[in-house]
Structure 1
Amino acid sequence: MHAVSLKSTDGTPLSARVYESVGVPQGSVVIGGAMGVRQDYYAKFAEWLAGQGWRVTTFDYRGSGDSAPASLKGFRADLYDWTRDYEAAIDHAHAALPDAPLYLLGHSLGAQLPGLLNNQHKVSGLLSVAAGSGYWRENAPQLKRMVLYFWYVAVPVFTRLFGYFPGRKLRKVGDLPAGVIMQWRKWCLNPRYNLGAEGEAARVSFARARFPVLALSITDDELMTLRGTQSLMSFYENAPRKIERIAPSELAVRRIGHFGPFRTEQETKLWPRMAEGLRTLPGAAV
């Protein structure tokens, strides 16, 4: 692994890491992280995936992880900025292996943003892991019980008070720029999520996507539901797409959950399934 410094389209510096494959790589994988999750979280998986013959890139969105400033108070960023950051990681990976396939492995938010990319033509496919629409009525039951308090009280009150969302103090999501959390709030309160909140331009952008999408839906996900995954997949209306459900019992494990797919205990269980998903992406079917 080696650390690299990228620049987003507006010149914002970003922290990224590249995990080189052993031998000639079969292609590139860019891991798009979940909301509030640092690239550190994917390090062991990225290292393992590189050992399977892929050149893997991880990165931190601006205002998060190693791409965060000393203080988030007043730091300007929204989810469109994060999409531009995703594009920068894709551009960097594509330039390194321009003639090889480039796949996105999107965890949660990381599978929601690719429909808004301007450089979709560089993407050969998307493996979506534990992702779906964030619309609150499609949240898992345990999340739905408290999410309206989160969106109508905690987020607006604490974001205004601190100048950013102090998720670490609240043990919710993580520290996020004000623009990111408030735009995400708008998305999650809309029945059509980002398509409904952002309007026709967002719908058209998702409709442009032609790369195949394979969504791995986790049966014991405490945040996302199958219905939410189906909604997100419907946004990619012109892309070949497929949903596969994965239950802990299939892998002989007690629990997977929303964040479990990238934990090291899945190295011999779910990780090979994800690697196989990448290999079979070109054959994804509606």
Structure 2
Amino acid sequence: MRPDPAELLDDVKTIAYQAGEAIMAIYNEGDFDLYQKDDESPVTSADYAANEVLTEGLQKLTPSIPILSEESCEFSFTERKTWQAYWLLDPMDGTQEFVSRSGDFAVNIALVVEGEPVLGVIYWPTQGTWYYAIKQQGAFKQVGQNIESIHVTKYSRKDFTTADLRLAVSRVQKSNTVGQYLVDAEQHQKVALGSCSLKSCMIAEGGADFYLRVGPTGEWDTGASHCILREAGGNILDSEFNALSYNQRETLANPDFIVIGDRKVDWKKVIIPHKTQRTL
């Protein structure tokens, strides 16, 4: 029996909030443990605390649905490929932002059904803000009790040029990392924000128009935001403009990817396709 995302949404938002509160308790105290994973990416005790809250909450909510998290992903592909539906989690996207105390980190929850994210919830705990979407039901932003529908910026006017497009950038990534893949890197206004998923949400609500992610990420980095972006009128594609896949390969590593707003823009006039350098 397929899970109904609409029936699960309110509970999932609550669980995301609870995980955010677990992060904020550590963030406000300022006392946390910092570790380095095998891939040399950072992880903190706040990541693990959020993971525990999410895992416990979702297991109670949907005992029969498996959970795949960045912090607990030790399932073989032989096992994973039998899953019709599963939860895909990034307990704290933006660990480096947490460490640097920028506040730009978020809890990510996606429900993936038959290889497609059909429910996405992202909670930004320092701002008390949710972004969420259900397939074919639109994308939304919630601050407190205020809920509004969100959409990417549309560029249908006749005087539009690609120079109008705003590029979301990381505060820490070197500009030439993504600049080498742009037709004209200098023409775009740059909008800086922290975590990968929050930049995607900024595009979904019209605050920027595109974003390039060059470097190691996992499927948990895109699952929730992919659903939100699609419902807001955008998309996430790999660096050669192909669709991203979920749970279709032995590896859970993403290729380099492109987050786009208005799908009617000819993005190949803006972004130079490239093959990722990592083995997938």
Q: Shared fold (TM-score greater than 0.5)?
A: no
Task: Indicate the structure with greater strand content.
Answer: 2
TM-score (normalizing by structure 2): 0.29
Task: Indicate the structure with greater helix content.
Answer: 1
TM-score (normalizing by structure 1): 0.28
